[in-house]
Structure formats: C-alpha cells, structure tokens
Amino acid sequence: MTPEKNLIVNADDLGWSPGVNRAIAECHAHGVLTSASLMVTGRAIAEAVRLSRRHPRLSVGLHWDVWGEDEREFDLGDVRAVRDEFARQLETFYALMGRLPTHVDSHRHAHRDERVMPVFEELVEPLGVPLRGDGRVRFVGKFYAQWEWKKTEMRYVSPTFLGQMLADDARDGWTEFSCHPGFVTPGYDAVYDAEREVEARTLIDESVRRAVTANGITLASYTDWAQQPTRA
C-alpha cells in the first residue's frame, strides 16, 4: 500500500481580531485551511467561538498565549506560572467550546522554549492530542513572510512558494503547515498585519488547490488525525 500524505493546514491566532476570524473562515470554506488554534486571550474570542460552530469541520486547538502582540511580560523560566497559565487557558477553552482542544500549540512558539517544552509535553499528554513539535505530526513553519523579525518578504507567502512547499515538504504520514491569514480591521495593530492579507489570498488561490492534487496530498485536520484506525 502506498503511504498517504496527510496535510493539516493550521491557522494560528483564531480569536485575535474580527479580521483574523473572518479570514480563517473564508480560507476554510473556500481554500485549503483545515484547522485553527484558538487564542482564549483574543479580543474577538466570542465571535471566534460562534464561527467555529458554523464550521464544524474546522478542527480547533488551543493557541497558548502569554505575550500577545503588545509585548506583555511573562517569565517562561517560572515553571509554576507556566503550569498555572496553561491550566487557566485550558479551562477557559473548555468553558467556551464545550470540549477539549484537538491539538495544542502556542503564540510565537513559546512552548518550544527548552525550559518549558518538557513541561508542556507532560501537561498535554493526558489530553491525547498532538503538541506542536512533539513529533507526532511533522511541523513545517516556512509559510511566513517575516523569516527575519520585522523584515517582510511577501514571496514566502505567495502561491508559487506554497506550491513548492507542497511538492517538497508534504511528505508521507502527517504534516502540519502553519499559517496566519487575516484581514486588517480597525483597532488591529500588529507587526504582522498586511502580510496576513496576502496569506489569505494565497490560501484560497486555485493554483494551490491544483498543487495539492498534483502532489497526491490529502487535506486533513487534527480531528482526522485522532480518528485514525491505528489510534482507535
């Protein structure tokens, strides 16, 4: 049997703003986006929860956030604070969604800091869901327009670049491509904003859908990952 290429296209920052929410919904309904990660700290969280209910096939995980876009201070070296904040955000997620997250990751990859990655592996293990970077789903974060902080290169979020990623990086097994689509709306001020709109256009570009088919890729979600026969 030929191994299957299962690709999860996951949008970070669901709940951050109305424009981010709307772009995620459009990229899911009309593009290749299959999953999203919910910021329970987001200013548009209530709308995000309503959106998720209108799109039941969109897998929704927890996007643990302690910094936001406003450079809040949080000491990742304080392991007790990390544990407490994870418990608080997980409880809030459950209260909002009525279920556990389908996966866990974090804003600006905070959880992958070497001081806390083992803590997160311990905290997420009882949930039975993938933690970004734990090896169960291969993570590829190249679809991003600021490989260097505050230096924008839009070619890295173009349809051509994503098409090449589909050819090179969506391998046998399970892979996640992260993305950050969004529309700039009043009150939204962030280092990464105009880039989000380009991402959104790329994720619904018909050439990207053709590249998925041409490379024998199956678009999947974290819900699909959990329903694998081998896991059952």
Predicted pLDDT of residue 190: 81
pLDDT along the chain (232 residues), means of 10: 86 96 98 98 96 97 87 88 97 98 96 96 98 97 94 97 98 98 85 94 98 98 92 55
Check if the beta carbon of residue 110 is closer than 8 Å to that of residue 41: no
5-226 fold: TIM Barrel (3.20.20)
Coil, strand or helix at 157: helix
Predicted pLDDT of residue 231: 61
Residues 6+ apart with CB under 8 A from 92: 40
Q: Where are the domains of the chain?
A: 5-226
pTM score of the predicted model:
0.95
| Residue 54 identity (one-letter amino acid) | R
